A and B are shown apart, each in its own frame.
Chain A
Amino acid sequence: MPAKFPSEEWLAALKEKLNTDPKYADIAKNWEGDLCYAIEADQDFPQTMTLYMDLWHGTCRDAYMVKDGQEVSPAFTISGEYGNFTRVLKGELNPIQAMATMKLKVRGNYGYIMRNIPTVLDFTRCAQEVTVGEG
């Protein structure tokens, strides 16, 4: 069931979506790499938050909110202000454009990302489809 971003419910909905969506399963079948969304505060969201997703061969093996002090070292970290994440999730901003223009900062293997553009775009589609409200 769609949920508000960012929340435990949203992560659970995304995990469910990624594990049941046949299109994603096919496109992402070769993807190996966990991912963090590091959300930075802005005027609409005055706190920081980190979301962890373990993405593996077209499935999501795990997804959770990272607690204060908890250490994670994912293959990819996407960071940016809350407003820029929500623009992507509302379909107002193309995720590749968000990265190219530094609205979302990316750390990780760029070659791997470029090799897997269809996966990046379809992951975004899934995330958009489980998002309601402002997020």
Chain B
Amino acid sequence: MLQPILKINLATREISQFKVPREWLYDYLGAASLAARMLYDHLTPELNPLSPETPFLWLNGPLTGTAGPAVGRFVICAKSPATNLWGESNVGGFWGPELRKAGFDGLWIEGRAETPVYLWIHNNQIEIREASHLWGKETYNTQTAIQSELDAKNVRVAVIGPAGERLIPYALVLTDHGRVGGRTGMGAVMGSKNLKAVAVKGTGEVPLINWADYKAPRAKANRALKEHNATHYFREVGSGGAADYFDYLGSQPKKYYQAGVFEGSSKITGASLTEKYLTGVSACHACVIACGRVVDLGDGIKRKGPEYETMVGFGQNLLIDDLAATVRMGELCDTYGLDSISMSNIIGFAFSLFERGRLTLADADGLSLDWGSVEAATQLIHLTARREGIGAVLAGGSRSMEARFGDEGDAVQVNGLEIAYHDPRGASGFAIVYATSPRGACHNQSDYFMVDILGQTDEGLDISFHSRHAGAEKAADVARHQDWRTVNNALVLCVFASVPPLTVLELLNAGLGLDWTMADLLRCGERAWNLKRAINHRLGLTRANDKLPKALLKPYENGGSAGYVPPVQEMLTAYYVARGWDEITGRPTPAKLQELGLGWVVEDLWPET
């Protein structure tokens, strides 16, 4: 990192700066990978993620703000209150580039403010400002209030809503026009520190080691990205455009992962949204894609439209065929500051438990939790955000709901993180991805369905195309794809951007003055993947954690993936071999750790050796 990290103790109000060791830039690149290295020593099993002692790290990548192809993102990391394991969530918008322009590559936040505060970073002027008057406000209202009281143009504000204040373990952090760090509960960590928002304004230049060599490949890469089919597709129909195809293939879960077909499915798609409600698009910093949806439901109000996960989560997942309702429920999650994937998944679990009689009308405060009920789903969002009645139970997440109302394995989650809407029964690589992701069931640590379904075997990755229902033979390729996406999450390069890996390598070499090969780059990803795994083992994870919930191991009766379940155990065994991990414990072996330059972790991970 070229610029310092701003260190802020909210309890003592001490503000200082420090620089990251130069060699760590080369070992980890930046963002999530670098955060794992920086936080390693602090992440102990005893650490309560919501305690004042928990360090909370916001980091940019080495290319953030350089107007390269879709590299305007930053990441927020801490021990996750949802999983008690590694937590990370990257965010688009403009906040990250703005922080770099202010002269910092990241924030290290610790301590708990005595009363609610927000941070105001205006170049080198840092203020901890009173926020009691903002506490309780919704996300967008908070942004507006802060922007008007700061009296400066284009201030970028990252905020939490009431969900973060109430420490809901799937609370999000929201920036700009509804770009969110939704997963692993980073909003709750922020709330636990009494930190309502971080406002940033920078007027400096974004630094880069070699701007002169970077500009030509950057222009070429942006031109190629702009012309890519996927870019046209994302701009026209958003990520929800995939809903039709995933529905056709049976890789899109319905009825809380229990049904392969839903009659109303064709109404809940990106194409439908474009046809009925789209009025414009929105983009993150310097992005040529503009996947963001701006919609009007007929009331003249411009709203953020849902992306694939929110649309399907509140649509097919709940058997709701009212597209406008999915827009409104997504908006409600954003305003309260709730992760829409977890929230919709948890509501699906509540509907499922209600259908089975495990959660009664009395438990549900008299709400009839019927499949397809927009009213019930909407009410559950309100109750959850306020932690009222049954909402207090839902606010604990699906794992705690399972402990109270269900049987082991009922909740569709892994390690405390609710599963996204990509079904391993439709694309088997996701069996490994969900079971082994360092942040619980996550679709962004490797979006392997892009390989399984869309054949994205980019040159340089040495990944082969297998049938979407192949088994253990794809394990090594999944591992390699995880390494690649770990590189993406270190940069931070948006997964929606179809930038060829060899182009990424060219950009990095040019901008950072490196002479790396693809093998070097992938090794960098593999190093961070193993480091995050080591962190999780240190926090108590064992091989037994690498598993899928019951629902995903039962074949669908109909739809495009009827009759199939992935051979998870065979796939995992092959995966451990490919990773060089111990097959009994699931830990990276001492030899693998040494090979990756992580010898300093061996003593923690293998104390008996």
- Give A contacts to B, CB under 8 Å: 93-94, 96-102, 105-107, 109-112, 114-115, 117-118
**In the assembled complex, how far is the CB of residue B276 from the closest CB belonging to chain A, in whole angstroms?**
11
Shortest CB distance A39–B (Å): 17
Q: Are A111 and B275 in contact (CB under 8 A)?
A: yes
- Taking the closest CB of chain B, its distance from the CB of A79, in whole angstroms, is 11
CB<8 Å pairs between A and B, sample of 9: A100-B455, A102-B229, A102-B498, A109-B236, A111-B241, A112-B271, A114-B269, A117-B244, A117-B248
In the complex, residue of chain B having the shortest beta-carbon distance to the beta carbon of A93: B455
Interface-central residue, B227, B237, B242, by most chain A CB under 10 Å: B237
Taking CB as reference atom, which chain B residue is nearest A99?
Answer: B229
Q: Is B233 an interface position by the 8 A CB rule?
A: yes
Q: On chain B, which size bracket covers the interface?
A: 20 to 34
Per-residue A-contact encoding for B246-285, CB less than 8 Å = 1, 0 else: 0010000000000000000010011100110000000000
Question: In the docked arrangement, what's the CA distance between A44 and B274, Å?
Answer: 40
Residues of A within 8 A of B236 (CB): 109-111
- Compute how far the CA of A114 lies from the CA of B233 in the bound complex, rounded to whole angstroms: 9
Beyond contacts A110-B232, A111-B274: 8 other A-B pairs, Cβ-Cβ < 8 A, are: A93-B455, A102-B228, A110-B237, A110-B271, A111-B236, A111-B237, A112-B271, A115-B271
Question: Does B454 lie at the interface of the complex (its beta carbon under 8 Å from any beta carbon of A)?
Answer: yes
Q: Is the CB of A114 within 8 A of B241?
A: yes
Contact of B456 among A93, A101, A114, A117 (CB under 8 A): A101
CB distance from A105 to the nearest CB of B (A): 6
Distance from A120 Cβ to chain B, minimum over Cβ atoms (Å):
10
What residues on B are CB-neighbors of A97 within 8 Å?
454-455, 465
B245 beta carbon closer than 8 Å to chain A: yes
Bound CA–CA A93/B457 (angstroms): 13
A96→B275 contact, CB < 8 A: no
Q: How far is the CA of A106 from the CA of B236 in the complex (A)?
A: 13
Tell me if B470 counts as interface (CB < 8 A to partner A). no
Using CB atoms, name the residue of chain B closest to A108. Answer: B232
Given known A110-B237, A111-B236, A114-B242, contact A100–B271 (CB-CB < 8 A) = no
Which of B229, B271, B455 is A106 in contact with, Cβ under 8 Å?
Answer: B229
Q: With a CB–CB cut-off of 8 A, which chain A residues contact B245?
A: 96, 114, 117
A106 nearest CB neighbor, chain B only: B229
B237 in complex: contacting residue of A94, A100, A114, CB < 8 Å: A114
B456 contacts A110, C-beta separation under 8 Å:
no
Asked, given contacts A96-B245, A100-B454, A101-B454, whether A114 binds B228 with beta carbons under 8 Å apart, the answer is: no
Q: Is the CB of A118 within 8 A of B248?
A: yes
- Say how far B69's CB is from chain A's closest CB, in angstroms: 14
List the A side residues contacting B227 at CB < 8 Å. 105
Interface residues, chain B, CB within 8 Å of chain A?
227-230, 232-233, 236-237, 241-245, 248, 266, 269-271, 274-275, 450, 454-457, 465, 498
What separation, in Å, do the CA atoms of A30 and B236 have in the docked complex?
Answer: 21
Residues of A within 8 A of B243 (CB): 114
Name which of B229, B244, B465 has the most chain A CB atoms within 10 A of its CB. Answer: B229
B495 to chain A, nearest CB (A): 14
Those 10 A-B pairs whose CB atoms lie nearest each other, nearest first: A97-B455, A111-B271, A100-B454, A114-B244, A110-B236, A110-B233, A111-B237, A115-B271, A111-B274, A114-B271
Q: How far is the CA of A6 from the CA of B322 in the complex (A)?
A: 45
CB distance from B418 to the nearest CB of A (A): 26
- Residues of B close to A111: CB separation below 8 A: 236-237, 241, 270-271, 274-275
Say whether chain A's binding surface is mostly helix, strand, loop, or mixed. helix
Contact residue among A94, A105, A117 (Cβ-Cβ distance under 8 Å from B455): A94
Residues of chain B with a CB closer than 8 A to A109's CB: 236
Residues of A within 8 A of B233 (CB): 110, 114
Taking the closest CB of chain B, its distance from the CB of A48, in whole angstroms, is: 18
Shortest B261–chain A CB gap in Å is 14
Q: Is the pair B230, A100 in contact by a Cβ cutoff of 8 Å?
A: yes
Nearest A residue to B243, CB-CB: A114
B242: A residues at CB distance < 8 A: 114
B498 surroundings in chain A (CB, below 8 A)? 102
Question: How far apart are B451's CB and chain A's nearest CB, in angstroms?
Answer: 10
Closest residue of chain B to A109, judged by CB? B236
Q: In the assembled complex, which residues on chain A have CB atoms less than 8 Å from the CB atom of B274?
A: 111
CB neighbours (8 Å) of B237 from chain A are 110-111, 114
Q: Which residues of B contact A107 (CB under 8 A)?
A: 232
Residues from chain B with a CB closer than 8 A to the CB of A96 are: 245, 454
The reply to whether B241 and A100 contact each other, CB–CB distance below 8 Å, is no
Chain B, Cβ-Cβ closest to A104: B229
Q: Chain B contacts of A114 at CB under 8 A?
A: 233, 237, 241-245, 269-271
Shortest A90–chain B CB gap in Å is: 15
Residue on B with the closest CB to A105? B229
Q: Please name all residues of chain B whose beta carbon is closer than 8 Å to the beta carbon of A105 when the two chains form the complex.
A: 227, 229
A78 to B12, CA, bound (A): 63
Collect the chain B residues with CB atoms within 8 Å of residue A98's CB: 455
Evaluate whether A115 and B244 lie within 8 angstroms (CB atoms) in the complex, with A109-B236, A110-B237 already known: yes
User: How many Å lie between the Cα of A114 and that of B266 in the bound state?
Assistant: 11
Least CB distance from A125 to B in Å reads 15
User: Which residues of chain B are near A106, meaning CB under 8 Å?
Assistant: 229, 232
Provide the residues of chain B in CB contact with A115, threshold 8 Å.
Answer: 244, 266, 269, 271
Contact partners of B248 in chain A: CB under 8 A: 117-118
- Which residues of A have CB within 8 Å of B269? 114-115
Taking CB as reference atom, which chain A residue is nearest B457? A101
Among A97, A98, A111, residue most surrounded by chain B Cβ atoms (within 10 Å): A111
Alpha-carbon gap, A94 to B455, bound state (A)? 8
B462 to chain A, nearest CB (A): 16
Distance of A13 from chain B, by nearest CB (Å):
28
A105–B508 Cα distance when bound, in Å, is 27
In Å, the complex CA distance between A99 and B453 comes to 12
Q: Could you say which residues of chain A place their CB within 8 Å of the CB of B457?
A: 101
Smallest CB–CB gap between A92 and chain B, Å? Answer: 11
